[in-house]
Structure 1
Amino acid sequence: MRLFQGGASLIALVFATVQPAQALDTFPGASGAGRATSGGRGGAVFIVTNTADSGTGSLRACMQATGARTCVFRRSGTIQLASPIVVSNGALTVAGQTSPGGIQIRLKPGIAATAAKTPIRIVASNVFLRHLRVRPGNEAAWNSTRGSRSGIGIEKAGTVNPQNIYLDHLSVGYGSDQAMYSFQSGKNITVAYSLFAYPLSPASHDYGPLICSDQHQGDCGKTTLWRNIISSHLWRNPALKSVGCGAQNERVHDVINTLISNPGQFGIMVVDDHPDANNIGTCANIAASIMERGPKSTGPIALINQSDDTAATNRWYAPVSTGSGNDNVLLGSPAIPQCRLTKISPVTPCNETSATAPIGALSAPIISTGTLKSHLTQQVGAFPRDSLDASWIGFVNNVSTAPATNPDYTTSASFPTITGGSPPIDSDNDGMPNSFEQANGLSTTNAADRNNIVPSGTYTGYTWLERYLDERHHMITPP
């Protein structure tokens, strides 16, 4: 059955699906707590044909639809939102890598300054986002009554506790408060190969990712931050919260192979505001990551920064200079201490010290810190890389040139123009180009074959559409 919604601009294709028998990772090579995310596997295909805020052919129409679905792009450019896209129905894949030149999502100028606006809010499970630029922006008229403008939010909605979320190759910037967040809930989440940079600083609120805010009101579980760059944020680089470690260490957050560049006042924040029944606060592993001071860095910034809001004991593993392959590297002068308390002056060392081994198994593989910076600066963020990301990667490569302060607001000139060529021909609108189907013995007139299962090779068990989408990802990212 082929279902056309509102003419040819938006095409939703729904067919019986042959599901693989075994559990699969999100894609070959996926890692971390969210690696079981299946996204829109086996579902409909929505073709995004325009950059309108809403309506037929829009990204919103796909992301806010129901049922398993994959958003495939035939357009490049900037989508200006008058209100957030709220994903309340899961089983969603957004394949930004299919856009010929890339997709940039921002808030439309003129939205009420006091309104809390996060362009993408995820309040459902099984969501996979890849190769998107999310840059809220704000106007000069903002003041101390501004609303929070974060990039991406994962939130509890009623009894729904989002889980199985995979965010990969995102470029997130021009936000205030936090670059991304999970609020009250969220578990089994991976954030990987993403660039969090160029934040805005109204009232010095240029913060990085916040994991499990108000965690005591929901059921927060494990989040893996793996191979990301967090650049030029004042606080929350990232900020981690949990209610204890969990019976099976299922609440232990992992920060692995992450580069924190040019932090302002604090590095990684470990917050103990809501301990468990055993008086254990937040649990975290920080492994094989780099923190490098820059012009924005002031005072004795530490790798681990504990708030000590309560008498709880945080548990964390963050080795430095132990000779282990998991050692974190601290760069810059004056020397960076391993841990300090954030709310006590003068600077006071933490009450706790690093565990001697990870708290549970690390959830993602490690590469050497000797090659990490080069690897990340080539790989992170949405591709094709635009001029804004390229400029910030330059600041990361040469941190002495990074900004000491961030702007309070954006102008139209702040946002790069995103252009691209023509999309490949896809006669049956199944999300796979004719050339791919012909090369793999599929039909260019039978859209149902996109959900057939790849029988052998690297993609055994995945659908043909998933294979194409992952191969397209590898085509546009550096080797």
Structure 2
Amino acid sequence: MSTFKILLLFLLTSLSVSAQTPAFPGAEGFGKYAKGGREGEVYIVTNLDDSGPGSFRDAVSQPNRTVVFEVGGVIHLQDRLIFSENLTIAGQTAPGEGITLSGNGVSFTNANHMICRFIRIRTGKAAGKGVDAATIYQGHDMIFDHLSVSWGTDENFSVSSMKVVDGPVRVTIQNSIIAQGLQPHSCGGLVQTEGGTTMLRNLYIDNHTRNIKMKGRNQFVNNVVYNWGGDGYILGGGSQYKSNAIITDNYFITGPDTKGKPFTRGNENFSIYAKNNHFDHDQNGELDGTVLSKEAYGIVTWLEEPVPNFPELEAAPAELALKQVLASAGASFPKRDAVDRLLMKELGSYGKKGKIIADESELPVSITKKQWSRNSALDADRDGMPDKWERKMGLDPSDSTDGGDYKLDEEYTNLEVYLNGLLIK
């Protein structure tokens, strides 16, 4: 497909979605208008089993669902977890420290119109070699918000296919932590698609390389890259593919294991609009980076204006974005687990702490094995909204169908109003 046809496709797409409802307040980027399970059925996860009735695997096995949780804790995946389409995963509803998926990884391939929020995916050495913690090879309209993804033995989180028609289209990963890919293949992720990917306010930390490796159409804005080893952002890796990227207001901070540069392996096929990317390399325990010069990006094709037909983002200055990452990135609601708290201490040391690992057992902390539960009687009609909240909002706690109505908001269903309201402090 010619560059003109690709640009025309995205122009028509942007016009068609301009009047759509964002996935949730604060959704941004290419995947902003994912519909999730809006108006579909509610599935309540009631146990931490790997399969069977009430399990998370059973919940995501069918499309058109909003998945909420009455349990929190670790779900150990024996086999790869495959997601259906038109799903909303409301990890913010889980009690305790929320939900952690350990063991085998997950696939969002063809999980069209996916909304996934506040979930941890921690794969681990026992999964074996060559396992992505999370991957997308095909599909469209997906947004991932406040995920914590770590310990992949191949990639941590990849959006990876250069096929224009069948590859991933309109994907956002925002407010997430992508951390500690395991050696000997410690990689943040491949993000390479013509379909448009937005990376916004994420933390890449303790990955040896591919923080990210990018080809195709990509926004990389307000991210923090810390303690990478050999490569930070790989500019196509010398690829023959034509790439177009917006790279602004990011912060690159070296750590104890950093030996490579923030940007590497570009060529003339990689076109970028870049500005205000900061680099702090002195490891003195203070945040005092400076803006990278054009020469720091190596061989690329420079664009004087942003790539047309990319979504507009609510970007902040790089230092403020870093503070936002420290405050809330990852599966931070209901609260962070010990692993993410350790990662934030490393980042907050501004160069003094951090470690690229080959086995998660090297860490002084581990995933919490405790289980939490919520009384099922708090939601008598099993519509995902607590009775007390329904009464307060003038809804009927004995009507199991009113979650899909629009009584409280013209854009979001009553259930979505409840889910979005959980995160308002």
Instruction: Tell whether the structures are fold-level matches, with TM greater than 0.5.
Output: yes
Q: 1:431 aligns with which of 376, 384, 387?
A: 384
The aligned amino acid for 1:440 is M
What does the per-residue CA deviation read over 1:128-186, in whole Å, with 9 as the maximum and x for residues that have no partner? 110001001113xx9xxx53122211123xxxxx0100000001112122110123211
What are the equivalent positions in structure 2 for 1:39-438 lying under 5 Å apart?
A: 39-66=36-63, 68-87=64-83, 89-101=84-96, 102-107=98-103, 117-139=104-126, 146-156=128-138, 162-184=139-161, 185-201=167-183, 203=184, 205-212=185-192, 215=193, 220-242=194-216, 252-271=217-236, 275=240, 281-299=242-260, 301-302=261-262, 304-308=263-267, 313-319=269-275, 327-333=276-282, 350-352=298-300, 354-360=302-308, 361=310, 363-382=312-331, 383=333, 384-410=335-361, 414-420=366-372, 422-423=374-375, 425-438=378-391
Structure 1 residue 357 displacement after superposition: 2.3
Using the alignment, how far apart are the partners of 1:93 and 1:330 within structure 2?
A: 37
The aligned amino acid for 2:209 is W
The aligned amino acid for 2:313 is A
Indicate how the Cα distance of structure 1 residues 297 and 423 shifts in structure 2: closer, same or farther if over 3 A, else same. Answer: farther
> How many residues in Structure 1 have an aligned counterpart in Structure 2?
390
Indicate how the Cα distance of structure 1 residues 71 and 406 shifts in structure 2: closer, same or farther if over 3 A, else same. Answer: same
Contact 2:253 2:351 in 1 (8 A): no
What does the per-residue CA deviation read over 1:50-101, in whole Å, with 9 as the maximum and x for residues that have no partner? 00000100001011113x10111000110001101112x3110111110012
Structure 1 residue 409 displacement after superposition: 4.8
Structure 1 residue 122 displacement after superposition: 3.0
The aligned amino acid for 1:448 is T
Structure 1 residue 372 displacement after superposition: 2.0
Contact 1:99 1:423 in 2 (8 A): no
Indicate how the Cα distance of structure 1 residues 338 and 152 shifts in structure 2: closer, same or farther if over 3 A, else same. Answer: farther
Structure 1 residue 411 displacement after superposition: 8.0
The aligned amino acid for 2:270 is N
Indicate how the Cα distance of structure 1 residues 338 and 462 shifts in structure 2: closer, same or farther if over 3 A, else same. Answer: same
Using the alignment, how far apart are the partners of 2:29 and 2:297 within structure 1?
A: 31
Q: How large is the Cα RMSD of the aligned pairs?
A: 2.4
Query: Is there any run of 5+ residues in structure 2 with no aligned partner, and where?
Result: 1-18, 162-166, 284-289
What is residue 3 of structure 1 aligned with on the other side? none
Contact 1:137 1:410 in 2 (8 A): no
What is residue 10 of structure 2 aligned with on the other side? none
Contact 2:70 2:373 in 1 (8 A): no
Using the alignment, how far apart are the partners of 1:296 and 1:235 within structure 2?
A: 11
What does the per-residue CA deviation read over 1:197-220, in whole Å, with 9 as the maximum and x for residues that have no partner? 23321x2x11102112xx5xxxx3
Structure 1 residue 296 displacement after superposition: 1.2
Match of 1:447, SS state, is: coil
Identity over the aligned pairs, expressed in percent? 27
Using the alignment, how far apart are the partners of 2:314 and 2:424 within structure 1?
A: 19
Using the alignment, how far apart are the partners of 1:349 and 1:71 within structure 2?
A: 43
Match of 2:180, SS state, is: coil
What does the per-residue CA deviation read over 1:18-45, in whole Å, with 9 as the maximum and x for residues that have no partner? xxxx620001221110001010000000
Match of 1:400, SS state, is: coil
Using the alignment, how far apart are the partners of 1:284 and 1:236 within structure 2?
A: 16
Using the alignment, how far apart are the partners of 2:351 and 2:337 within structure 1?
A: 22
The aligned amino acid for 2:423 is H
Match of 1:122, SS state, is: coil
The 10-residue stretch of structure 1 (171-180 or 98-107) with the greater mean CA deviation from structure 2: 171-180
Indicate how the Cα distance of structure 1 residues 241 and 133 shifts in structure 2: closer, same or farther if over 3 A, else same. Answer: same
Structure 1 residue 419 displacement after superposition: 4.1
The 10-residue stretch of structure 1 (442-451 or 407-416) with the greater mean CA deviation from structure 2: 407-416
Larger Cα-atom Rg = 1
Contact 1:86 1:123 in 2 (8 A): no
TM-score normalised per structure 1? 0.76
Indicate how the Cα distance of structure 1 residues 338 and 207 shifts in structure 2: closer, same or farther if over 3 A, else same. Answer: farther
What is residue 322 of structure 1 aligned with on the other side? none
Using the alignment, how far apart are the partners of 1:451 and 1:381 within structure 2?
A: 28
Contact 1:165 1:190 in 2 (8 A): yes
Structure 1 residue 275 displacement after superposition: 4.2
Using the alignment, how far apart are the partners of 1:287 and 1:30 within structure 2?
A: 19
Using the alignment, how far apart are the partners of 2:403 and 2:418 within structure 1?
A: 9
Structure 1 residue 328 displacement after superposition: 1.2
Match of 1:330, SS state, is: strand
Using the alignment, how far apart are the partners of 2:403 and 2:213 within structure 1?
A: 40
